[in-house]
Amino acid sequence: MQKTALITGATSGLGYDFVQLFAQDGYRLVLVARDGQKLEDIKRSLKHVEVITVAKDLSAPHAASEVFAELEERQIAVDVLVNNAGFGLMGLFDELDIQKQINMIQLNIAALTELTYYALKHMKARNSGRIMNVASTAAFQPGPMMSVYYATKAYVLSFSEALVEELAGTAITVTTLCPGPTQTNFGAVANVEGTKMFSAAMPSNIVAKQGYQALMAGKRVIITGGMNRAGALAAKFLPRSWAAKMAKYVAGAK
């Protein structure tokens, strides 16, 4: 039977690359992002698979439940959920726009949580399914100059790893993808291009491929890139104050 994958943030960067990987494997696709025109362009480019587009601002309260209401109306069950949509912002917490930071929490945390909740209902009914939540290497330490972003990603990692244990013994897997800096539109949106942290950003298609393979293997956590794995390991053993200082250093100009 044909399987359905729901991918958020499908119009750009990692999400776009996930779309190509799922399409190659013949999945029916449900693609979510704000830009309806881009979603339609992607749908037109994928001739051999069925694509359902849902243009939705996931930072709006209840947007996630509206996505699932639409799917239930069409009697579409989700086999794979990729919670990928997200953004960051660089700057001092009190100088960044507060509404933008609240929207970030709504998108990176609340929408991801709510989408997971509804997808799990589909998956538990059939005792099978796969979920990938896109966190970041930002999940492993506090991130001065991107304080809210780093905190949202720490939530994603903690939440996802807890679900792995709740779902032990079922055929439902939860994988957390933790990329380091990656060549997507993220850098421009977050205003982090030109920082030390972005001087060695990985190509998006390589990060997406590694994430996809980990998802299909049911791995718990995947950190892409040797340097990123080393950084995450260091953050685990350093005092939190040192790890935060390191994050502040790499957020500085090259």
Ligand X SMILES: NC(=O)c1ccc[n+]([C@@H]2O[C@H](COP(=O)([O-])OP(=O)(O)OC[C@H]3O[C@@H](n4cnc5c(N)ncnc54)[C@H](OP(=O)(O)O)[C@@H]3O)[C@@H](O)[C@H]2O)c1
Kindly list the residues in this chain that would bind ligand X in the complex (CB under 6 A): 8-15, 33-35, 38, 57-59, 84-88, 107, 134, 136, 179, 181-182, 184-186, 189
**Nearest residue (CB) to ligand X, 14 versus 123:** 14
Minimum distance, C-beta of residue 234 to ligand X, in the bound complex (Å):
17
DSSP string, 31-89: EEES-HHHHHHHHHH--SS-EEEEE--TTSTTHHHHHHHHHHHTT---SEEEE------
Name the region of 27 (left: φ>0; alpha: ψ -120 to 50; beta: rest).
beta
Name the region of 75 (left: φ>0; alpha: ψ -120 to 50; beta: rest).
left
Minimum distance, C-beta of residue 184 to ligand X, in the bound complex (Å):
3
Minimum distance, C-beta of residue 168 to ligand X, in the bound complex (Å):
26
Q: Which long-range contacts (CB under 8 A, 24 or more apart) does 61-66 make?
A: 61/106, 61/110, 63/111, 64/110, 64/111, 64/114, 64/115, 64/118, 65/114, 65/118
Query: Is the separation of the CB atoms in 222 and 177 below 8 Å?
Result: yes
- 209, burial (CB in 10 Å: exposed 0-12, middle 13-18, buried 19+): middle
Q: Is 149 a catalytic residue?
A: yes
Task: Name every residue whose Cβ is closer than 8 Å to that of residue 169 and which is 6 or more positions away in sequence.
Answer: none
Minimum distance, C-beta of residue 142 to ligand X, in the bound complex (Å):
16
Three-state secondary-structure class, residue 253 = strand
**Nearest residue (CB) to ligand X, 102 versus 125:** 102
**Nearest residue (CB) to ligand X, 49 versus 189:** 189
**Nearest residue (CB) to ligand X, 57 versus 161:** 57
Q: Which of 16, 27, 118, 149 is catalytic?
A: 149
**Nearest residue (CB) to ligand X, 93 versus 171:** 93
Structure tokens that stand for 229 in this block:
């794995």
Minimum distance, C-beta of residue 140 to ligand X, in the bound complex (Å):
12
- The set of catalytic residues is 149
